[in-house]
Amino acid sequence: MSDTKSESLNPFAIAQRQFDGAAELLGLDVSARLLLREPMREFAVTIPVRMDDGNTRVFKGYRVQYNNSRGPTKGGLRWHPDETIDTVRALAAWMTWKTAVVDLPLGGGKGGVTCNPLEMTEGEKERLARGYIRAVGRVLGATRDIPAPDVYTNSQIMAWMLDEYETLVGETHPGVITGKPLQLGGSQGRGDATARGGVYVMREACKLLGIDPSTARVAVQGFGKVGSNAALLGSKVLGLTVVAACDVNGAVINEDGIDVDALAQHSLRTGSVVGFDGAESMDPDGLLELPVDIVVPAALENAITARNAGKIQAKIVCELANGPTTPDADAVLHERGIYVIPDFLANAGGVTVSYLEQVQNAYNYYWDVKEVHTQLDRRMTESFHAVHELHESRKVDMRTAAYMISIDRVATACRLRGWI
Ligand code: NAD
């Protein structure tokens, strides 16, 4: 994504800078700061995979267990060509603050493999998924560390990994991984949970800011599991008008409103939003700067930097991606009065339903989708208002308020355990 010379775009340096600011405001003691600004455990592995052409390729994989004071570490698995230990560290840190801000009895972790799944066959992906579990499986478990889908991974990949794990341990353990297919112990409502949780907090933000969703316009960056469902649910549940959307290949715009169902079908069929005949093509770089009410970054880190923060025209930035806004950009958005719903609050719906999936796995009893939506709505709405109230009372931006709540909860758990 976009770059500026003066600004550090290393995601872990950004996560630490965000942490430091909130820790200072909380008056956190030195030992807590030292413990909480670093991961507790990291694993780096090499995964040999036999490719379809008969050659073996060796992939780098990572699993970072950032903090487990509040429960087993939990966090997705990303397969991306730009994956590094620092992106995984940052994402694991944000998972720790995410599970804490919505008050789940879980810690934070994350995994990654440096690869390009868009250029791999299904067989190659299956062998990589199984190889990853053979490499890190012994540190995973429903009471240790629980992966889930993230960028370029999906429920099929979770199914292969579950199968490999259960083959290794010789028992069924559905709670070792979430985001599974329904037939293997997945939860109703997990597929669109991240987006749905985001839609619930957008609804609450609109109420607070006096925005009528039925006349509000929105632009969505990223059209994968999260972005496409945010567009679909934003229009169906809230009545928002989606005017622009993009993915890694390009962007489309229709000032009168995009038929989101048709765009989702087009994207499913062709693999991209590009070429959709219900909209014009546009330069994806300008998407977040469009004159809309809400922008939804739902792709990767560093989408909003010092370079473009001054050009954002929306009233609300609902961060469904992890780490889309740099600290320098945050300061500009705050100064300009733009309401940012920070990533680890806005996109906590995914891990919330992953937690509900684990609860159902433990009971071996499964709920209907209405029950899942009710529980998700309650937790997202309560957490959002707790953050908003602190934002108002302490006169800090929403991200800092969310950090203050989470850090306090995690530090308390560490103190109770006698770690600090
Ligand atoms: P995905 O792989 O399903 O989709 C990613 C989308 O981003 C694709 O449409 C891709 O084309 C697009 N993209 C990639 N690079 C881009 C670029 N440079 N510009 C524009 N678009 C680009 O992934 P996802 O699960 O939808 O995840 C999206 C974001 O949401 C990530 O930041 C992820 O960490 C975060 N997130 C996901 C979940 C989840 O449950 N899947 C939960 C919380 C947060």
Residues 6+ apart with CB under 8 A from 364: none
> In residues, how long is the chain?
420
Whether the domain at 38-184 and the domain at 193-346 fall into the same CATH topology? yes
In the block, tokens 């103190």 appear at 415
Residue to mutate (ligand 1; options 295, 300, 304; most atoms within 8 A of CB)? 300
**Residue ranges covered by each domain of the chain:** 38-184, 193-346
Residue closest by Cα to atom 32 of ligand 1: 321
Give the torsion through C-alpha atoms of 409, 69, 24, 64, to 10 deg.
-130
Q: Which residues are catalytic?
A: 110
Mean pLDDT of the chain: 97
Q: ∠ CA 291-9-37 to the nearest 5 degrees?
A: 115
DSSP 179-198: S--GGGTPPTT-TTHHHHHH
Nearest alpha carbon to residue 350 among 376, 325, 370? 376
Residue to mutate (ligand 1; options 247, 273, 351; most atoms within 8 A of CB)? 247
Q: Which two tokens stand for residue 311?
A: 């050009």
Ligand 1 contact, 344 CB (< 6 A): no
Q: What is the pLDDT of residues 331-383, one digit of tens each?
A: 999 999 999 999 999 999 999 999 999 999 999 999 999 999 999 999 999 99
pLDDT at 5: 53
Cα 240 to Cα 360: distance, rounded to the nearest angstrom: 33
At 93 the three-state DSSP class reads: helix
Q: What is the pLDDT of residues 149-162, one digit of tens each?
A: 999 999 999 999 99
pLDDT at 3: 46
Q: What is the pLDDT of residues 348-360, one digit of tens each?
A: 999 999 999 999 9
DSSP letter assigned to residue 336 = T
Nearest alpha carbon to residue 108 among 76, 82, 80? 76
Ligand 1 contact, 250 CB (< 6 A): no
pLDDT at 66 over 50: yes
Residue closest by Cα to atom 33 of ligand 1: 321
Q: What are the φ/ψ torsions at residue 7 (nearest 5 degrees)?
A: -105, 130
Nearest alpha carbon to residue 29 among 293, 330, 419, 300? 419
Residues 6+ apart with CB under 8 A from 379: 102, 103, 352
pLDDT at 1 over 60: no
Total Cβ atoms within 10 A of residue 366: 15
Total Cβ atoms within 10 A of residue 334: 17
pLDDT at 258 over 50: yes
Q: Which two tokens stand for residue 407?
A: 């850090």
Q: Which atom of ligand 1 is nearest to the CA of 350?
A: 40
DSSP 27-57: T--HHHHHHHTS-SEEEEEEEEEE-TTS-EE
Cα 314 to Cα 266: distance, rounded to the nearest angstrom: 27
Ligand 1 contact, 296 CB (< 6 A): no
Q: What is the pLDDT of residues 289-312, one digit of tens each?
A: 999 999 999 999 999 999 999 999
The residue type found at 26 is L
- Dist. CA 318 → ligand 1 center (Å): 14
- Dist. CA 295 → ligand 1 center (Å): 15
Question: In the CATH hierarchy, which fold is given to the domain comprising 193-346?
Answer: Rossmann fold (3.40.50)
Residue closest by Cα to atom 43 of ligand 1: 347
Average pLDDT of span 158-183: 98
pLDDT band at 7 (very low <50, low <70, confident <90, very high): confident
Residue closest by Cα to atom 41 of ligand 1: 150
pLDDT at 61 over 70: yes
Residue to mutate (ligand 1; options 14, 78, 150; most atoms within 8 A of CB)? 150
- Dist. CA 24 → ligand 1 center (Å): 32
pLDDT at 224: 98
Q: Is the CB of residue 177 less than 8 Å from the CB of residue 158?
A: yes
pLDDT at 4 over 50: no
Q: What is the pLDDT of residues 208-230, one digit of tens each?
A: 999 999 999 999 999 999 999 99
DSSP 343-396: HHHHTTHHHHHHHHHHHHHHHT----HHHHHHHHHHHHHHHHHHHHHHHHHHT-
Average pLDDT of span 83-91: 98
Was domain 38-184 assigned CATH 3.40.50.10860? yes
pLDDT at 332: 98
Helix, strand and coil in the chain, % to nearest 5:
50, 15, 35
